[in-house]
Amino acid sequence: MPKLDDSRRLMGPNLYSGSPGAIAEVALDASDDADAFVRAWRQELDRLLEALRWASPEIATRTYRGGVALFLAAPFDVLLPATEINEWAVASAIQISGGRAALPLAPVRDELTVVLAIAERPTLRKLTAEARARGLPIIVDDEAVTIGAGANSRTWREVLPTIDAVPWDTLASVPTALVTGTNGKTTTVRLVARIARIAGRHPGYTSSDGVVVDDRYAERGDWSGPDGARRVLRHAGVDLAILETARGGILRRGLAIDRADVALITNVSADHLGGYGVDDVETMLKVKAVIARVATTLVLNAGDPALVALAAELGRPVVWFAIAPCAVSGGETWFADDGMVCRGGRPLVPVDEVPLTFGGRAPYNIENALAASALASALGLPEDAIVEGLRTFTSSTDDNPGRGNVFEVGGVKVILDFGHNPAAVRGVIALARNLAGDGAVRVTIGMPGDRPDDELTEVAAAIAAGAPAQVVVRELPAHLRGRQHGEVPARLAAALGGDVAIVADELTAVRRLLHAAEAGDVILVLVHLDPAVEALLREP
């Protein structure tokens, strides 16, 4: 029997449309006819919209394993009533699917007529139209309306101005980049921000680690969604914005803006599959591509055939990057060739002089350095600043916390890394093996409970391929996400096979590995989350 699983507002460009809208996700049993349910929903939606005299809106549907998503475009001011309209259509379609009569129209029609009249904000619609006509960004949420961006913006939090009262001549955008992908987002964003600072700019950026303006945290935590983007774009000290844009924010709320100067997609591989009906890498690419559809220029990984195909589909100017020269048509290129970072075939800096790459032993960070260079170039930042950024940005906890940070304790190297999907784990365990030389590699990992079983198995396989001498699996108590306590560690241990210990937390795991390690060994801490571990490693 169909069941409404979730209903929410998408407040900007999203997987279904370039416009805001209401999304309903409906869970279906194996015996349910998805096509028949969508037809019933559309019939009931049309019935209610006609009664409300709502002009035919943009509609989109998507069927996935175990459910359907049903999208109704709507102006921002009436998004909440739009979710009610969508929920009523779903409820009536469920009635029809169960062989019962459709819901009566009269009571909901009368109620929603009043709700819509109250919700409508004609002034907001006029301001939005005027801002877009002038080529200005307009940033809207439940708290405020902002026209322009960063240092060139003005925000109204209560009463909106008339068009004539807006100081249009003082408003403008700032160079804005959106950054997404499976791996490398945070490292790339941080490096571009460093390059911008070297160039004399005042960058604001968002990441899964926080909101940062001019190297100072405005907020800590995961701010890689639209709320973080709005925080940066409303900050009066920002003259360039670099916005990490995670798939969760795109799927839950849509983008914060409908125009950007540049969009970077680092790569796309298996990670976070199964949530919001995104069951495969092909669909995940469509989610990531939402940022590309609002950007003027794209920065894409030439080594990813799916991204090369996306560029051909969108027909936008592209700046390409890849860890090795690739055959691509048109656009500037940033490749690593013969041990050098090259721009358009012109050598700029030796790879082994880029600290982020560990002397060239971390191919995934060579790729991140190239992505950052390409993005900085697309944003108009000067070449000398790019080169200096590459030479000075490191994998330290100061420059890139949680990403490949190396400590040394009694001759044992300890790498702290957030790597949590198969591609990331393969990359960082290869680095650990390289740094270990003749020493042993010892690994600890914990995984969030929202990862599907096949992804847990792939992560375990990536660890096993590194031939570690010791593996300690741990629980992530704050990230069970629907799983039973101990379930994920048990599945990881079973997939790894052999003598695998299970412990309660990251600190216990690291202590156990340090006790067993000998000088020359490397300990790799994957999905590093616990700051107490860093404190332990800094103890004299």
DSSP 8-state symbol, 296:
E
* pLDDT score for 56: 80
> Which pLDDT score is estimated for 327?
84
Asked whether the predicted pLDDT for residue 123 surpasses 60, the reply is: yes
Query: Is the CB of residue 86 less than 8 Å from the CB of residue 72?
Result: yes
Determine whether domain 3-119 maps to CATH 3.30.300: yes
- Beta strand 412-417 with 522-526 is parallel
φ and ψ of 405, to 5 deg: -75, 130
Instruction: Give the pLDDT confidence score for residue 385 in this predicted structure.
Output: 98
Rounded Cα distance between 28 and 68, Å, is 7
pLDDT tens, residue by residue, 266-282:
988 765 565 777 778 88
The helix/strand/coil state of 347 is: strand
Separation CA 214–CA 217 (nearest Å): 8
Paired sense of beta strands 346-350 and 340-343, if any: antiparallel
- pLDDT of 136 > 80? The answer is yes
pLDDT at position 373 is: 98
Token representation of residue 120: 């409508």
Query: Which numeric CATH code is attached to 176-392?
Result: 3.40.1190.10
Tell me the pLDDT band of 534, cut-offs 50, 70 and 90. very high
**The predicted structure's pLDDT at residue 45:** 97
What 3-state DSSP class applies to 353?
helix
DSSP 436: H
pLDDT at residue 274, rounded to an integer: 59
Please, which pLDDT band fits residue 142 given cuts at 50, 70 and 90? very high
Which sequence spans correspond to the domains of the chain?
3-119, 122-170, 176-392, 405-538
Give the per-residue pLDDT at 279. Answer: 76
Class in CATH terms, 405-538:
alpha beta
**What pLDDT score was predicted for residue 518?**
96
Could you give the percent of the chain with pLDDT greater than 70?
99
* Separation of alpha carbons 521 and 440, rounded Å: 5
Supply the pLDDT for residue 272: 55
Q: Residue 9: pLDDT band by 50, 70, 90 thresholds?
A: very high
Residue among 96, 178, 116, 84 at smallest CA distance from 375: 178
Q: What is the mean pLDDT of residues 172-195?
A: 96
How far apart (Å, rounded) are the C-alpha atoms in residues 427 and 343?
24
Across 87-107, average pLDDT: 96
For residues 420 and 393, the model is more confident at: 393
Q: Which residue has the higher pLDDT, 10 or 283?
A: 10
204-251: pLDDT as tens digits: 999 999 999 999 999 999 999 999 999 999 999 999 999 999 988 999
In sequence order, which residues have a C-beta less than 8 Å from that of residue 515 and are 6 or more positions away? none
What 3-state class would DSSP assign to 129? helix
**Percentage of the chain with pLDDT > 90?**
86
Q: What is the pLDDT of residue 271?
A: 59
Q: How far does the chain reach from its first CA to its final CA, in angstroms?
A: 62
Question: What is the average pLDDT score of the chain?
Answer: 94
Q: pLDDT class for 378, splitting at 50, 70, 90?
A: very high
pLDDT (tens digit per residue) in 41-94:
999 999 999 999 998 889 999 999 899 999 999 999 999 999 999 999 999 999
Residue 177 has pLDDT above 80, yes or no: yes
> For 310-339, what is the mean pLDDT?
93
Q: What are phi and psi of 59, to 5 degrees?
A: -120, 145
- In DSSP terms, 212 is beta-bridged to 205, 217
